[in-house]
Structure formats: structure tokens, C-alpha cells
Structure 1
Amino acid sequence: MTISDGKITSDLDSAINRYEAALSAINKASNPQPEKVLEVLAARDVLSATLGRTPQPAPESLITVLQLDDRLKEQAESINEAANLGRWRRSFNPPQAAWWWYIDELQTASKQWDWLWELLSVACLVTTTSFIASIQPRFAVGGVGITEAFGMLSHSGLTLLVAGGSFTKGGQQFVQGLLKNLKIPLKYQSEVTTGLSAIMMLSALALNASLPLLAKYYSQNGQKNLHQGLLEQAGNNLDQAIALDPQNADFHLYRGEVYEALLKFDDAQTAYQTALAGNKYKAFNNLGRLAFLKKDYTLAEMMFRLGLENIQTDEVKYKLYKNLGWTLLQKKSYSEAIDSLKIAIDIDEKQAPENREGLAHCILFEVLQAAKSDTESLETEKQKCAENREKFAASREFDWYTHTLQRLGAIKAAPQQPPPTQKP
């Protein structure tokens, strides 16, 4: 190696060292000063010139230059924020081959599709906010659980955060700073924001799709409360279920039963009619029961007969025939009452012994007694009624009738006393 070659090699090493030092200065500064950026560009100019007059640069030196150039490209965001490269180019007129003077244009080229990502973000956010706006009021009925409240608030907060980053300058700066702290390069931030918007939209869609399941959960709790006699809690849970899935006729039917247990017969009737509009024909039995309690036996008979025209399941048909027989007893239509109750008994006896109710035998005994029927039939039904007393005493409908009638009697005897809030 000649002395001249040694000098060139030394110059190349010096240029590389200067370039590396200038890059390190930018890398250490969170907000580099313009003069620091200018030093990087000048150092790269010197390095380019030195490489141009170096006949055979060492491979190690070339690899180092490539690595340093990669570092420079990684600092493009900081450089663009600190320097007005367009004005500098007009002053110094660098050649097109000096790509480091045009690093802002290189970055702009890589972000030419940002408008599309931002458009997709806006579409996702509009969809998300519309779903949240329609879902959130539904949780304000029966009280929101901790899990639901946290999920809704966090979802809404994230939506507002990303929306602010899309629609406002301050929001954009905040989101950019946040993503920068997460080590996400600026050139990918539009894509990341779009991804977050899409995730929120999908989660909002998933939440909306899960509303019927959540409504069923509240309904099950309401039914459990109803059986326990916790009527206020039952009402709250069923109100929440209806708010989440208002088209579910079962929920309105159960809500009507809570109203009925509270002796709010007008509200119960409205709930049963809503269930009936949703093709829940079991509501005919409940509407007939209400009419029976109000001693409107003509309306009760009509409801029970309409139910028999629409319902096929043995469980409900048994109740309808039994209640129809009970109603006909009140109307002193003994022959029709006997026919109806015998059909109910036939349906009941087709069930497994442990599932039979037996109450129809007791009503039939009352009918036969009122009709002054033959003693043999009377004694038979009396015996079967006694045999099944333990079963039908635990029957929900029997419990419903006896306690409701007792409470109605108590209210008539002492009208100044408000009805109890729980079943006895």
C-alpha cells in the first residue's frame, strides 16, 4: 500500500467516524436541533465524496456505511420534524443522487396511501360510535354490573382516543406521541391507527351480537329472583333483559308474572299482551288467569279457549284445560267444566308420576260436589285430590292462586296497607 492509498483509507475512516458521530447526536436527542441535522447531511456529503475517490474501499467499510445509512433512514421522522429540507435544498441545490437530502420525500412516498388508511379509520370509528350509541342506553335500565360498565367505558374511551387522533390536530399529535413511545415508526402509524379502529369496530359488533345472550343471563336471574320471592330484584333483572332484547316475548311474559305477583294487574296485562304479540301463546293462559282473579269469568273463558286453539304442548294445554274447568265452575257450567277437567286429567296422567300435578282432581271434586254428582265419582276424586295434595301444593300455579287470592283478600280487608313486596 502506498502512502497515498493509506491517506485515502484514513480519510474514509475519518468520514465514516464523523457520519457516525453526527447520527449518534441525533439519536440521543429527543428533539434534535436543525444544526445537528445539517451536520448529519454534511457528514454524509463528505462520506459520499470520499467514497467516490476511494478506488477499492474495504468491504468492512462499505458494510459500516450501509448500516449507518439504515440508521439515518430510521431517524427520518426526527429529521423531518427538526428541519425544513425543502428550503435547504433550494439553498444548497444538492444532486438527486444525494438521497439523504430528499429523505422527507422518500418518507412521503412511503405514506402516499395514508389517506386510504385514514378513510378506513373514519369508517370504522363511525360504525363503532353508532353501535355504542345504540347499545349504551340499554344498560341504564336495571343497573350495569361492574364487568359491563368497565368494558363499556374502556371501549368508549379507546374510541374517543382514536377518534381524536383522526379528527383533531391536537388528537393527532397525542396519538402520534403515544405510538412513538410504543416504538411504532411514523410511517406505520396510520396503519396501526386503522388496525385499532377495526378492532374496536369488531368488538362493538361482537358486543351487539352478544346482547341476546346477555339478556338471557339477566332473564335467568330474574326468574330465579321470582321463585325466591325477591320481586323488586326480579323486576330489575327482567327490565334489563327486555332493554337488551326487546323482541324476546319470553322476557315480557316473565315480567308480567312479576307484576302479577306484585298485584299490578294492569301492568301485568300489558306485559302479557306484548308477549302475545310476539307469538308467545302461553300468554293466553296468563291473561285468562288475570281475568279470573278479577272475577271476569267470561273474559277468562275466552282467553283459555283461544289458548287451546293455538297451543300444542301438553304442559300448557293441561294448564289451559284445568283453568278453563276452574272458570266454568265459577260460571256454574258444570257439564262443560267436568269435560274440560277430565281432558286435563288425561294429559296430566300421561306424564311421569313425579311430574304430575294432580290439582285438576281437586277442582273436579269441587265441580262434582257443586253439581251434586254421584257419590262414587265424588269420593274417587276426593281421594285422588288427597293423594296428590303434596305435589300440587308445591305447584307454582297453585301457590300463585292461593297466595294471590289471600293477598287480595287482605288488601280488601285493610285497604290502607300497601301490598307486600315479596311473596309469602
Structure 2
Amino acid sequence: MTDSRLQQAIKRYQTAVEQLKTTIDASTDPNHIIADAAQPNQPEEVKQQLTRTQILEVFTARDEVQAALADTMQTSGESLAAIAQLDKILKDNATAIATICETVDWQTSFNPPKEAWWWSLQPERKPYKFWDQLDWFWSAVSISSLTISLGLVGDISSRFLTGGPDTLGALAVSTQSILTLLTAGGALTLAGQEAYKSILKSRKIPERFWHEISAGFSLLLVIGLVGLRISLPQIAIQYNKWGFNNYKEGDWGSAEENYQRAIKLNPDDTLAHFRLGLLYEELQKLDLARTEYQIAAQDNIPDAINNLSRLYILNKNYPAATHLLQKSLADEQKLKLSAETKHALLKNLGWARLMQSDYPKAQAKLLEAIDLQQSAKVTNNIAAPHCLLAQVMEAQKDKKGAFKEWETCIQYADITSSTDEDSWVITAQKRLTEQENQK
């Protein structure tokens, strides 16, 4: 087959390219006069501007050249040289063409073959600044940031979802997950990258800044997640407050969930551990209560120390109780003990000494507790030292003194607030009855 068809195609291509170049040169000539719509009688050549129609003519002409090349058996060197020269002119004007049209849209509409490079013609990208040569670095920053973000999302989500999601937890987890997935999709998936490029193009952001912008979004995501991670202790405080309100209202199930969420968000929230210990003690889950008190006691919460010592006594671990109580009373100034807490510590130390059969020390601490409740006007658990002192006096064969203390024990006992006092009141009533029967 001759190359006559090819020659005709080249001629059409040449005409289209020359018209395109003439229009571009005229529009960039500083002496070129821009058309004024208010002056309709201007020369036609002055009004001429590069249009999409001209560009499409060039592209379709180049399609025809490619088709003719495929059908031509013999092609002269002159023809090939002419095509190469025209292609060079087209590529040299890629910047001007890119300002007029979006070739991506044309690729979608006409679906040209991959080898038709002119349909995806883009200006040659040259480094605009030194940092444009570091695109590999910005890509690495993006990937590293996304990896860190995914780790943070996993850590934060697991903390919020303890015991099942609530409204605040679900909102926090869904928001951070969506932002991370959107950012990761834009960086790691082909569809996400295309969508990301389309958004940047629509905002007319130069391509040379795309890597930096992507890295910036990834870093912002990391900073936001790190900020959320750092703020977890403050969020834990709010859960702690909600749990305490639930506890006071008798909603112990919700109280336990909120305390556990507070602890999961901030394992160092010793107040939440202490309050959860109180809840478990109310539920008679003494082993769980002891564990929570032990954690809170490590932060020197006096009430946690007192309650832990009491559980040690109930568990017959008297040496641990006395050691803990003596240390706390010795550190009174450091711990800043309130009168009520010191009173409870003295009472428990007297109780532990009683169970160790160390009656003189038991009596001394119980009398000290009674003196404190009178001098400091303590109103809580004032019957307990008298109930215990009565048992000490009984062990020392002081029946008269024991009888007096049993009477005081019954007088001030509040069996609704303490299971210990309930059992002691029963003992007191038996002793008083026995005393009356002996008269």
C-alpha cells in the first residue's frame, strides 16, 4: 500500500498544528491586541483565541496519522521526519494546551488507546524549587504518617469501645476512622488518588505542590490523633463524673461501665479505681474491690488505703493491714489526712491489733480514735471504735468497761451503713441481755 493516505493525514496534521501554534504565538505576543467585546469591528485575526475545537482538530488529525501509519506498508523517511517534527511542536505547546482543556475528561468521553499519548498530553514537569526534587521524601512522610495514624486509631478505638460503645465513644471512633480512611484512600488506592487529583485540579492548585499537600494532610491527621490521644485523661475525668453520678443514683450497672471506660482511657486515673473499688465492695465483689483499692493506694489516696486495710482484716491478713495502717498514720502530714480518715485508720488499726490479740495496743488506738471523734466532732462511724473497744475489754476480763462500751455501741450504731456494725450490734445485744439476766 502506498503512503498517499499517510501524506494526506500528515498534511491535515500539519495544517492543524500550524494553526494551533499561530494562535498560541499570537496570544503570547506582548504586542498582540486583546479583543474588546465593546468594539465589534476589530480585525478577525485580532479576535482569534485558542479554542478546544482547535485542540480537538489537532488530536483527531494525529489519530488519523497513526491509523494511516498502521495501514501503510512502506513509509518514507521524509514522512516519518515530518511527523516527528510536528509531534515536537505539539509537545512544546503542551503548557498552553493544558490551560484550555482538561484532557482527562476527553479520555473519559472518547476512550483513546493508551499509545495515543497526545490525548493525555501534559507539560513537561520541571523542578520549580529545590524541594520539588524531594517528592520521594514527601511520599515517605505521607506513608509514615498514615501508618502512625492507623496505629493511633486502633489504640484509641479499643479504649473507647470497652464495655460496648456509648454515644461519645461511637462519635470519637467513627470520626477518626473516617478521616483516616479518607486520607489513606487518597494516598494508597488508585481511585482515591484520582479523586484527590481531581479535587486539587478543581482548586487550580499547581501539580508541583501536590506531594507537599498530601504530606501536610497526613501530618495534620497525625497531629489531630495525637492531640486526641493526649486528651484522653481529660475525657476520662468526665466518664468518672458520670460514673459517680450513676453510683449516687443507684444505677450501679452504668456506674461500673463508666468507671471502666474512664480507667481504659486513663489507667492512671486512681480516683476512678478507688470509686470502682467502692462499687465492687457494695456488690460484695471483695476480690475485685481489693484489686482496685490496691491500685488507688499506690497513689496514696487515704480512703483507698483505709478501705484496703479493712479488706485485709476481713481476709485475716492482719500483718498486711497493720503495716499499711501504721505507714499511713506515720505519713499523716504527707497524706494530708482529714479527721474522718484518720479516725477510720485508727479504728482499723485497733481492730487489726485486736485480731492479733495485742490488746494493749488495740485499746490505745481505739481510745485515740474516740478522743479524735470528740475533739474533731467526727460524725461518721462513731459507734465502731466503741464496739471494738468492748471486745478488747472483754478479752481483758473488764466486764464493767465492756458493758459500758456495748451500750455506747448500740446507741450510735448505724446498721444500714455498715455490715460490720450490724454484726457488732448483734453481739452487743447478746452481751447486754446476758448481763441483765445475771442481775
TM-score after normalising by structure 1 = 0.64
Question: Are 1:285 and 2:285 matched, yes or no?
Answer: no
1:114-140, Cα deviation, whole Å (9 max, x unpaired):
434323222322221221122221122
Q: Which residue of 2 aligns with 1:156?
A: 177
Question: Are 1:174 and 2:195 matched, yes or no?
Answer: yes
- Structure 1 Cα separation of the partners of residues 160 and 330 of structure 2: 38
- Structure 2 Cα separation of the partners of residues 175 and 55 of structure 1: 36
Rg comparison, structure with higher value: 2
Residues 362 and 392, structure 2, Cα contact 8 Å, conserved in 1: no
Residues 164 and 172, structure 1, Cα contact 8 Å, conserved in 2: yes
1:196-226, Cα deviation, whole Å (9 max, x unpaired):
2122111101110011111222222223333
Q: Which residue of 2 aligns with 1:359?
A: 381
Q: Which residue of 2 aligns with 1:123?
A: 144
Indicate the SS of the match to 1:399. coil
Match of 2:280 among 248, 255, 259: 259
Indicate the SS of the match to 1:359. coil
Match of 2:21 among 16, 20, 45: 45
Match of 1:323 among 348, 355, 363: 348
Residues 386 and 409, structure 2, Cα contact 8 Å, conserved in 1: no
Please give the residue correspondences for 1:2-401 in structure 2 after superposition, counting only pairs within 5 Å. Answer: 42-47=18-23, 57-58=32-33, 91-94=86-89, 100=95, 104-110=122-128, 112-180=133-201, 186-278=207-299, 280=301, 282-294=303-315, 300-311=321-332, 312-315=335-338, 316-329=341-354, 333-348=358-373, 351=376, 356-360=378-382, 363-364=385-386, 367=389, 371=393, 389=412, 393=414, 399-401=417-419
Indicate the SS of the match to 2:89. coil
- Structure 1 Cα separation of the partners of residues 262 and 342 of structure 2: 27
Indicate the SS of the match to 2:163. coil
1:385-404, Cα deviation, whole Å (9 max, x unpaired):
96xx5xx859xxx8244599
TM-score after normalising by structure 2 = 0.62
Measured after TM superposition, the shift of residue 105 of structure 1 is 3.8
Measured after TM superposition, the shift of residue 324 of structure 1 is 2.0
1:128-159, Cα deviation, whole Å (9 max, x unpaired):
12211222211221333223312322221221
- Structure 1 Cα separation of the partners of residues 270 and 142 of structure 2: 38
Measured after TM superposition, the shift of residue 348 of structure 1 is 4.3
Q: Per the alignment, do residues 107 and 337 of structure 1 end up closer, same or farther by CA in structure 2, a change over 3 Å counting?
A: same
- Structure 2 Cα separation of the partners of residues 184 and 56 of structure 1: 30
1:208-263, Cα deviation, whole Å (9 max, x unpaired):
00111112222222233333333322222222122111233333332222222211
Task: Tell me how large the CA RMSD over aligned residues is.
Answer: 4.9
Unaligned runs of 5+ in 2: 1-12, 37-44, 64-81, 99-121, 425-439
Indicate the SS of the match to 1:94. helix
Q: Per the alignment, do residues 405 and 105 of structure 1 end up closer, same or farther by CA in structure 2, a change over 3 Å counting?
A: farther
> Comparing both chains, which one has the higher relative contact order based on Cα–Cα distances under 8 Å and sequence gaps of 6 or more?
1
- Structure 2 Cα separation of the partners of residues 196 and 51 of structure 1: 38
Residues 138 and 244, structure 1, Cα contact 8 Å, conserved in 2: yes
Measured after TM superposition, the shift of residue 320 of structure 1 is 0.6
Measured after TM superposition, the shift of residue 317 of structure 1 is 2.6
Aligned-pair identity in percent equals 25
Matched residue pairs, number?
Answer: 348
- Structure 2 Cα separation of the partners of residues 345 and 255 of structure 1: 30
Residues 393 and 402, structure 2, Cα contact 8 Å, conserved in 1: no
Residues 162 and 261, structure 2, Cα contact 8 Å, conserved in 1: yes
